[in-house]
Structure 1
Amino acid sequence: MHLTVWNVPETCSEQDVRSFFERELGHYAKGITVYDAGTPNAHADLELDSEVPYVADAVARELQLRRLAGVALRVSAAPFDDEEPAPRS
């Protein structure tokens, strides 16, 4: 299962973002890919170690309540496991 996280602050490095999600997701973090770190288009793809669809929705709702460097995150769960997240325009 994948989540896409938007609104990642451009003040955060790739390591800052990775560390934040490793801490927040704990054992659910299977993979974390950060795109365009340090830019206004920074976002992350989080791969969850779960095959149960509701887990991604629950994690997405929980992450929506979190702030990274004072900025509220926007999180969406991918509707299908096989699809890649759409690039941000």
Structure 2
Amino acid sequence: MHLTVWNVPETCSEQDVRSFFERELGHYAKGVTVYDVGTPNAHADLELDSEVPYVADAVARELQTRRLAGVALRVSATPFDDEPQPQRG
């Protein structure tokens, strides 16, 4: 499961962002990839270590309440990791 985090402050280094999310997510943090560090478009992709449905949505809601370097985060969950849905019929 993946989350995309927007509003990453330009002042944060890639290591700052990684450390923050690893601390906040604990054992759920499988991977943190940071893009466009030091720019207004800086954002992160968080890979969660969970197979339980809706965990990403719950984690996204929790991270929305957090601030990184004083900046409120914007978080979106990728629903079901874009897995194909079973065919009905």
Regarding TM over 0.5, the answer is yes
Find the residue that maps to 2:19 and give its secondary structure: helix
**Aligned position for 1:18:** 18
Distance 1:79 1:33 in 2: 19
Distance 2:80 2:8 in 1: 23
Distance 1:11 1:23 in 2: 19
**Aligned position for 2:32:** 32
Shift of 1:23: 0.2
Taking only aligned residues, the RMSD between alpha carbons, in angstroms, comes to 1.1
- The gaps in structure 2 that reach 5 residues or longer are 84-89
Shift of 1:52: 1.3
- 1:28 aligned partner, one-letter code: Y
Shift of 1:41: 0.3
Distance 2:82 2:61 in 1: 21
**Aligned position for 1:41:** 41
Same amino acid, percent of matched pairs: 95
Bigger-Rg structure (1/2): 2
- The gaps in structure 1 that reach 5 residues or longer are 84-89
- Compute the TM-score of the two structures, normalised by the length of structure 2: 0.89
Find the residue that maps to 1:80 and give its secondary structure: helix
- Compute the TM-score of the two structures, normalised by the length of structure 1: 0.89
**Aligned position for 2:67:** 67
